Amino acid sequence: MDPTIEAVEGDITTQRLDAIVNAANSSLLGGGGVDGAIHAAAGPALLRECRELRAGRYRDGLPVGEAVATGAGDLPARWVIHTVGPNRHRGQTDPALLAACFTHSLDVATELGAGSIAFPAISAGVYGWDADEVARVAVDAVRGRVDGGEPVPGLIRFVLFGQRVHDAFRAALQA
């Protein structure tokens, strides 16, 4: 059975799903926007796990487009999957880098056995990507996995902050 792919306007930190995706910065230690909100809502356990990742495998930070999971601390989700989106202001304009954030997060979710996952609009906003382009790249990346028959969670939800971004994702899903 094909997974459900949907877009909702809301707060990703309140999602009662197996995994939520954090639009992290490479330090993994919190920041602004979605990253800051997730770290604030998750509490100190999330920061501890991220510090452990930085002390080990990701001493130089998480590279753009890659994804790694931690527990979710005080969040209602089971896991947080951290991915670093490309920053247009730093010349990172390749849509393949952005698509990798979504596909690598799906890979991690599948490895975890997650039946559901929530994505924010990675790289939209402060990283300078247009919401319409992010929506198109994200939806194409997810649909590519589904159409390719690769295993993905049964529910893939885009949880979007603000009507403008939500409208962009709804339009991409209807295309």
What positions carry a catalytic annotation?
Answer: 35
HEC states along the chain?
Answer: CCCEEEEEECCHHHCCCCEEEEEECCCCCCCCHHHHHHHHHHCHHHHHHHHHHHHCCCCCCCCECCEEEEECCCCCCCEEEEEECCCHHHCCCCHHHHHHHHHHHHHHHHHHCCCEEEECCCCECCCCECHHHHHHHHHHHHHHHHHCCCCCCCEEEEEECCHHHHHHHHHHHHC
